[in-house]
């Protein structure tokens, strides 16, 4: 086996690799992590689902219950605001590592892979197994994990740990999302004779007005709260002197676990009425939640409190993750989101991650993996 790298230094190596999505180009990170895991005895598959875009699937152990570690390799763009540090440098100042992806979520990947290597020898052919699903294209709609699902590379597991940024505080779930485009159709005419046309823009405004008071029937989650609907984009018209014959509004709907998306879409169509020409689903991710008395949640809380010395609280996160697809494709396993990145630093200019968080996360992940191998 290759020497187990230092998780902080591995984070710097990964940050130096530009995987801004788009275009992603996660292949470079995928190969580094695949080689490390293979050297530790994992069976590794490098799954290229698009040019330069690969997922990593790794597995070690038998078939008596699988623990799945997961994280994504892509990052968001640097943004237009100037950085105080080179976003690909991984420079460490005052105990913080700066760079794009330090928090979201190359620190989590590094800690997870180092922990898997440390625990690898505990997973033999006749006991539980440890699996890693390291994905590309998460930041633009979880396309990498969807490719794993569609290719039949995801199988039932018993528990999932996702290393998204949570400041090493376990989170038990998140809301789901529906990204939609609602379109209207009209008839074009010269703007000097609007009565000869059928204004699709006005129809879209009517749809938007109806959505202002869309009823979620009082549904709520005790931790994640209520569902929400936001109108986020509006497109209509090609010229100031033409009546638009098409218009489109964008919707961002955040749902709670248990809210059935197919039923919600039916109610939306009913609310929007006959002026709706088309309702396109751009992304559909189910909300997920693991009860705090679940054995996996209890074990994670125990280990985190032992490493950090801080009590854990029952919390969720605001953003969604690959966990939605993993939950549906892997048999609805108990899922916990836990990673070293600072939640408030994701996608920020001068993004950083505390170095101590990375080392703590590696220890947490190692204890969880070793405990799993020993039936805990």
Catalytic residue numbers, as ranges: 74, 138
Cβ(98)–Cβ(85) below 8 Å: yes
Residue 79 C-beta-side C-alpha neighbours within 13 Å: 15
Cβ(161)–Cβ(368) below 8 Å: yes
Please provide the DSSP assignment of 238-277 as one string.
Answer: S-TTB--SEEEEEEEEEE-TT--HHHHHHHHHHHHGGG--
Q: How many CB atoms lie within 10 A of CB 90?
A: 24
**Which of 139, 164, 175 minimizes the C-alpha distance to 336?**
164
DSSP annotation of 196: G
Query: Can you read off the two tokens belonging to residue 218?
Result: 């009082």
CA 344, CA 316: separation in Å to the nearest integer?
14
Cβ(134)–Cβ(55) below 8 Å: yes
**Which of 289, 292, 337 minimizes the C-alpha distance to 138?**
337
Mark 153-170 as b/e (b = at least 16 C-beta within 10 Å): bbeebbbbbbbbbbbbbb
CA 296, CA 299: separation in Å to the nearest integer?
5
CA 276, CA 25: separation in Å to the nearest integer?
38
Please provide the DSSP assignment of 127-191 as one string.
Answer: S-EEEEEEES--TTTSHHHHHHHHTT-----SEEEE--SSTT--B-EE-EEEEEEEEEE-B--BT
Query: Can you read off the two tokens belonging to residue 115?
Result: 């922990």
How many helices (H) and strands (E) the chain has is answered by: 9, 15
């Amino acid at each position: 086996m290759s020497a187990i790298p230092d998780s902080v230094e591995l984070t710097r190596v990964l940050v130096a690799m530009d995987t801004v999505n788009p275009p992603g180009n996660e292949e470079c990170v995928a190969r580094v992590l695949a080689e490390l895991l293979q050297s530790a005895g994992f069976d590794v598959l490098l799954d290229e689902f698009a040019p330069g875009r690969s997922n990593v699937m790794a597995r070690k152990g038998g078939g008596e219950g699988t623990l799945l570690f997961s994280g994504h390799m892509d990052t968001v763009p640097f943004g237009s605001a100037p950085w105080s540090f080179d976003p690909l440098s991984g420079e460490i100042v005052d105990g913080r590592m700066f760079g794009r992806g330090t928090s979201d979520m190359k620190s989590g990947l590094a800690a997870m892979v180092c922990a898997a290597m440390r625990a690898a020898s505990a997973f033999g052919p006749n006991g539980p197994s440890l699996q890693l699903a390291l994905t590309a294209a998460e930041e633009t709609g979880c396309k990498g994990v969807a490719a794993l699902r569609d290719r039949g590379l995801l199988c039932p597991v018993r528990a999932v740990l996702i290393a998204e940024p949570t400041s090493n505080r376990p989170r038990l779930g998140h809301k789901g999302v529906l990204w939609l485009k609602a379109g209207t159709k009209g008839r074009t005419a010269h703007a000097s004779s609007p009565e000869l046309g059928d204004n699709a823009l006005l129809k879209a405004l009517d749809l938007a007005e109806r959505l202002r008071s869309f009823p979620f029937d009082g549904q709520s989650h005790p931790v994640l709260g209520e569902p929400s609907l936001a109108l986020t984009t509006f497109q209509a018209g090609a010229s100031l002197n033409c009546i638009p014959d098409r218009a489109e509004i964008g919707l961002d709907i955040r749902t709670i676990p248990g809210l059935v998306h197919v039923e919600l879409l039916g109610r939306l169509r009913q609310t929007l009425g006959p002026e709706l020409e088309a309702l396109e689903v751009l992304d559909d991710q189910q909300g997920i939640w693991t009860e705090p008395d679940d054995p996996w949640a209890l074990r994670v809380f125990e280990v985190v409190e032992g490493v950090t010395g801080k009590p854990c609280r029952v919390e969720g996160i605001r953003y969604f993750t690959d966990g939605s697809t993993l939950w549906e494709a892997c048999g609805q396993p108990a899922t916990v989101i836990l990673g070293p990145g600072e939640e408030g630093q994701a996608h920020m200019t001068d993004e950083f991650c505390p170095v101590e968080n990375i080392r703590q996360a590696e220890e947490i992940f190692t204890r969880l993996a070793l405990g799993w191998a020993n039936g805990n």
